[in-house]
A = this chain, B = another copy of it.
Amino acid sequence: MENGIKIELKAVSKNFKKTKIIKEMDLLVNPGEFLVLLGPSGCGKSTTLRMIAGLESVSAGEVLFDGKNAQKMTSLQKNIAMVFQDYALYPNMTVSQNLEYALKVHKVEVDVRKQRINKILKTLDLIKVANNYPSQLSGGQKQRTALGRGMIKQSRLFLLDEPLSNIDVQLREKARDEIQYIHQQNQQTIIYVTHDQTEAMALGDRIAVMDNGKIQMVATPDEIYNHPRNLFVAKFIGSPQINLIAAKVNNNCLNKGKLQLVNDLKQITAYQFQEEEEIYFGIRPENIQLTAPKKEHVVGIVTQITDYGRYQQIIVEIATDLTLKVISNDTTTQVGDEVGVVFNTDKILLFDTQNGMNLN
């Protein structure tokens, strides 16, 4: 099998009628990399994938495959495999025939075909249903067949468009493991579109977070989670969502009304704030500790506890209409308790209220 291909998008735009769906996007996908395009529905992530696949024309800019302009290449030259959200299995062909069809059309030898098919049927646990038609398959089997049809081409670029969104939650964990296994085995470049942040975090070497036709941030999962570039990324990643409080800078402190959220801003960031400037204070639910209330603490009342088994979600009201979500493993807290709220200082995130940029 060949190595993965390098994909570059240079100032790529896509207009649909008069709407700009993709706005001058630059993106580099390294050979053999697993890149996830993550974003809410309608952010343009699927359109980006389809432009790379050549299914949508590019309104401006260039898509380069190993430095060559992809628009002039035939589908055979591009050598792409793609898995669609609806699987797009040929309904008139069995699982084996679905796997075999493209190879057969391109006159790959029978022996090679049979060998590859058998290997894939085995890897993806599809042997029992090899002669079934798509309508006779379960959701998970359809998904694996679609995956297999992509794998059998042994292409240098593998595109996946929300391949797990139509299967049961219970099966997704297994399917994720399979996709990870496939990527480890082959050295293909993979571009994977999803709206599910857990999937993105689990799979991506790097994640490109998109919103509104623009890439908001491209980085490793760790960077994205802990150092989001702007408010959108901070809010989109993480479940439960990050706690955000609009607060005012006051003499190197950050205050929300009478509450002092940060007592030494310089410790957190080198950014020069103006006095009385309003900024967003952000803290993820797991970076808050609840303790016995002391004078120096922000103090609140526990209003709700939801037990998720592995952890608890605790809602703490620290002022009227101002609550914090806290994730904790401590099971001693009760609803009604008065608690001290301690923020994990090096995890505090600050954002500009105007443009949403991270100020840390």
Asked if A168 is at the interface (CB within 8 A of a chain B CB), the reply is yes
Asked if A61 is at the interface (CB within 8 A of a chain B CB), the reply is no
Rounded to whole Å, the gap between the CB of A331 and the closest CB of chain B is: 9
A315 to B120, CA, bound (A): 25
Within 8 A of B (CB), among A305-352: 306-311, 313, 327, 329
Residue numbers in B under 8 Å from A329 (CB-CB) = 286
Residue numbers in B under 8 Å from A91 (CB-CB) = none
B173 A195 Cβ-Cβ under 8 A: no
Residue numbers in B under 8 Å from A236 (CB-CB) = 170
Selected from B169, B195, B221, B308, the residue in CB contact (under 8 A) with A309 is B221
Selected from B40, B197, B201, B308, the residue in CB contact (under 8 A) with A306 is B201
Rounded to whole Å, the gap between the CB of A27 and the closest CB of chain B is: 22
**How many copies of the shown chain assemble into the complex?**
2
A284 to B310, CA, bound (A): 9
Within 8 A of B (CB), among A193-242: 195-198, 201-202, 221-222, 224-226, 236-241
Contacts A40-B168, A240-B173 given; does A306 touch B226 at CB 8 Å = no
A298 to B36, CA, bound (A): 36
Which 7 A/B pairs are nearest by Cβ-Cβ distance? A225-B309, A201-B308, A286-B310, A202-B306, A222-B307, A221-B307, A169-B196
A-B contact pairs, 27 of them (CB 8 A): A40-B168, A40-B170, A41-B168, A168-B195, A169-B195, A169-B196, A169-B197, A170-B236, A173-B241, A198-B308, A201-B307, A201-B308, A202-B306, A202-B313, A221-B309, A222-B307, A222-B309, A225-B307, A225-B310, A237-B309, A238-B309, A238-B310, A284-B310, A285-B310, A286-B310, A286-B311, A310-B327
11 other A-B residue contacts (CB within 8 Å) besides A40-B168, A238-B309, A284-B310: A41-B168, A170-B195, A173-B240, A173-B241, A201-B309, A221-B307, A224-B309, A237-B309, A284-B309, A286-B310, A286-B329
